[in-house]
Amino acid sequence: GENVEQHPSTLSVQEGDSAVIKCTYSDSASNYFPWYKQELGKRPQLIIDIRSNVGEKKDQRIAVTLNKTAKHFSLHITETQPEDSAVYFCAARPSQGGKLIFGQGTELSVKP
Amino acid sequence: DVKVTQSSRYLVKRTGEKVFLECVQDMDHENMFWYRQDPGLGLRLIYFSYDVKMKEKGDIPEGYSVSREKKERFSLILESASTNQTSMYLCASSRSPDTQYFGPGTRLTVL
């Protein structure tokens, strides 16, 4: 079955710097890759997603890139702010059905 | 606005007790999911359901069962709680094959 590996597990950056989180997946048939943000004590919420027919997607300060050949996808956050501090999860959806396989999570800390 | 609610935010139970965790969504979503969240392990899928009375095992179903008698409600059952089931439990729902919306979570402690 699908397996998703996420790195790094923790990431600390200075306010204004960029942050990059990377995920690799094993099932080449996976076709949907969402990213969730979970602030302390709150529920995970979708921040951006990408489908397998697209290589890059941007939404203001966040972007996601997908390399299907290498089977990896990345989250890029530019001009980080303290409110970006949270745990970020990547996920992949195998071709059949609606279930998601999540990565282990990255705890991002943005220092003022 | 999608709303997914869970019956309890915090729960403390004793080893061997039967535990029910309830999840309700108000968006008529077909799919519902139960995850457990542990530090360093991410979100691991326990069970999911694509329709009423249907259920599928996820990656870690051992020690759990589920019930979906109505479309809006998905229950997770721990038949005999054990200390290694102490965790954060998250419910989610989706309109296939779209975004999953999560509930606030139930932090379960088994003593």
pLDDT digit string (tens) for B34-84?
A: 999 998 899 999 999 999 989 999 999 999 999 999 999 999 999 999 999
Q: State residue A97's pLDDT score.
A: 66
Q: Scanning every residue of chain B, which has its alpha carbon at the shortest distance from the alpha carbon of A44?
A: B102
Are A46 and B100 an interchain contact pair (Cβ–Cβ within 8 Å)? yes
Asked whether residue A103 carries a pLDDT value surpassing 80, the answer given is: yes
Query: If DSSP codes are grouped into helix, strand and coil, which group holds residue A56?
Result: strand
* Distant-in-sequence, close-in-space partners of A44: CB < 8 Å, separation ≥ 6: A36, A37, A38, A89, B43, B90, B102
From chain B, pick out residues whose CB is under 8 angstroms from the CB of A98.
31, 48, 50, 94, 96-98, 100
Q: State residue A96's pLDDT score.
A: 67
Report, as an integer, the average pLDDT of A73-94. 96
Q: How far apart are CA A68 and CA A73, in angstroms?
A: 8
Please enumerate residues of B whose Cβ is less than 8 A from a Cβ of A.
31, 33, 35, 40-45, 48, 50, 56, 58-59, 90, 94, 96-100, 102-105
The fraction of chain B above a pLDDT of 70, given in percent, is: 96
Q: State residue B95's pLDDT score.
A: 87
Sign, CA torsion B59/B65/B70/B73: negative
